Structure 1
Amino acid sequence: MGHTILVVEDERVQLESIAGFLLKQGYRVMTADRPAGALVIAGEEAVDLVLSDFRMPGMSGVELLAGLKQLNPDIDVIIMTAFGSVESATEAMKLGAIDYITKPVDLHRLIVMIRNTLERRQLASENRQLRRELAGRTGMAGVVSQSAAMNRVMSIASRAASSSAAVLITGETGTGKELVARALHYGGDRREGPFIAVNCAALPESLLESELFGHEKGAFSGADRQRKGRFEAAAGGTLFIDEVGDIPQSLQVKLLRVLQEKTYERVGSSQSLKADVRIVAATNRDLEAMVADGGFRSDLFYRLNVVPIRIPPLRERREDIGPLVDAFLSRFSTENGKPLCGLSREALDLLMKYPWPGNVRELENVIQQAVVLSRGDTIYMEELPLRVHEPKADIASAADGGFTRRVEAFERALIREALRDAGEVQTRAAELLGISERHLRYKLKKYGMKPG
Structure 2
Amino acid sequence: MASFSQVSGQSTADAMIADEVRDGGGELARLGDMVARSLVMQRLLSRLKHSAQHLRIVAIEGEAGTGKAITARTLHALGAASQAAFVACSASRFISAETQSVLEEVRGGALFLTRIHDLGADQQSRLVDFLEWWEHRSGRDATGFFPRQLFVSSCKPLRQMSASGELRADLCYRLTAIRFELPPLRERRDDIGALADWFATRCGAAHGKPVRGLGQGSLARLLSHNWPGNVRELETIITNAAMNCPGQWIRPIDIPSLTTVVAPETQPQDSVVENDPNLDRMILRHVTEVLAKTGGNKLRAARLLGISRSTLYRLLDSGSLAS
Give the aligned partner of residue 185 of structure 1: 76
Is the alpha carbon distance of 1:235 and 1:337 closer, same or farther for their aligned partners in structure 2, counting shifts above 3 Å? closer
Question: Out of 223, 247, 256, which is 2:128 matched to?
Answer: 256
**Residue 277 (str. 1) matches residue 148 (str. 2):** yes
Question: 1:399, 1:186 → 2: CA distance?
Answer: 40
The one-letter code of the counterpart of 1:370 is A
Counterpart of 2:56, as a letter, is A
Number of aligned residues: 236
Pick the aligned partner of 1:300 from 159, 164, 171: 171
Contact 2:198/2:213 (8 A) holds in 1: no
1:209 aligns with 2:96: yes
CA distances 1:220-267 after superposition (whole Å, capped 9, x unpaired): xxxxxxxx2x233223111111111112221211211222232699xx
What is the CA–CA distance in structure 1 between the aligned matches of 2:82 and 2:34, rounded to whole Å?
17
Matches within 5 A, 1:292-441: 292-388=163-259, 391=260
Mapped to 1, the partners of 2:181 and 2:23 lie a distance apart of 18
- Return the alpha-carbon distance in structure 2 between the equivalents of residues 161 and 120 of structure 1: 17
Which amino acid letter does the alignment assign opposite residue 113 of structure 2?
Answer: I
Name the CA distance, whole Å, in 2 between partners of 1:341 and 1:280: 34
Structure 2: gaps spanning 5 or more residues? 1-21, 138-143, 266-323
CA deviations 1:368-406 (Å, max 9, x no partner) are: 111222344433222322224xx4xxx69x969xxxxxx
Gaps of 5+ in 1: 1-118, 132-140, 215-227, 266-272, 401-452
1:120 is paired with a residue whose SS is: coil
1:286 aligns with 2:157: yes
Which residue of 1 is the match for residue 36 of structure 2?
145
Higher RCO by CA contacts (8 Å cutoff, separation 6 or greater) = 2
**1:274 CA drift (Å):** 6.9
Residues 204, 212 of structure 2: 8 Å contact kept: no
- Counterparts in 2 of 1:348 and 1:366: CA distance versus 1, 3 Å: same
Seen in structure 2, the aligned counterparts of structure 1 residues 318 and 294 have a Cα distance that, compared at 3 Å, is same
User: How far, CA to CA, are the matches of 1:193 and 1:344 in structure 2?
Assistant: 41
Kindly report the root-mean-square deviation, in angstroms, between the aligned alpha carbons of the 2 structures.
3.0
- Indicate which of 176, 179, 194 corresponds to 2:67: 176
The letter for the 1-side match of 2:125 is V
CA distance in 1, matches of 2:247, 2:112: 41
CA contact (8 A) 2:88 2:113 kept: yes
1:161-172 → structure 2 map (5 Å cutoff): 161-172=52-63
What residue number does 1:65 align with? none
TM-aligned CA deviation for residue 315 of structure 1 = 1.7
1:326 and 1:342 in contact (8 A); partners too: yes
Query: Partners in 2 of 1:274 and 1:336 — Cα distance?
Result: 39
- Which residue matches 1:194? 85
**Does the Cα contact within 8 Å between 1:332 and 1:368 map onto a contact in 2?**
yes
Q: Deviations over 1:318-340 (max 9, x none)?
A: 22222211111112223333323
Q: Distance in 2 between matches of 1:314 and 1:274?
A: 38
The alpha-carbon deviation at position 208 of structure 1 amounts to: 4.7
Task: Give distance in 2, aligned partners of 1:165 and 1:263.
Answer: 10
Identity of aligned residues (%): 33
Query: Counterpart of 2:23?
Result: 120
Q: Which one-letter code corresponds to 1:283 in the other structure? A: S
1:242 aligns with 2:145: no
* 1:157 equivalent in structure 2: 48
Matches of 1:259 and 1:143 in 2, distance apart?
A: 30
Q: Over alpha carbons, which structure has the higher Rg?
A: 1
- Tell whether the 8 Å contact from 1:258 to 1:275 is kept in structure 2 after alignment: no
Q: Could you tell me whether the CA contact under 8 Å between 2:159 and 2:176 is conserved in 1? A: no
Distance 1:245 1:231 in 2: 22
Q: 1:378 to 1:184 in 2, by over 3 A?
A: closer
Taking the TM superposition and a 5 Å limit, the aligned residue runs for 1:54-65 are: none
Does the 8 Å CA contact 1:165/1:306 hold for their aligned counterparts?
no
Which amino acid is the alignment partner of residue 307 of structure 1? I
Secondary structure of 1:387's match? Answer: coil
**TM-score, normalised by the number of residues in structure 1:** 0.47
CA apart distance, 1:199: 2.4
Q: What is the deviation of 1:292?
A: 3.0
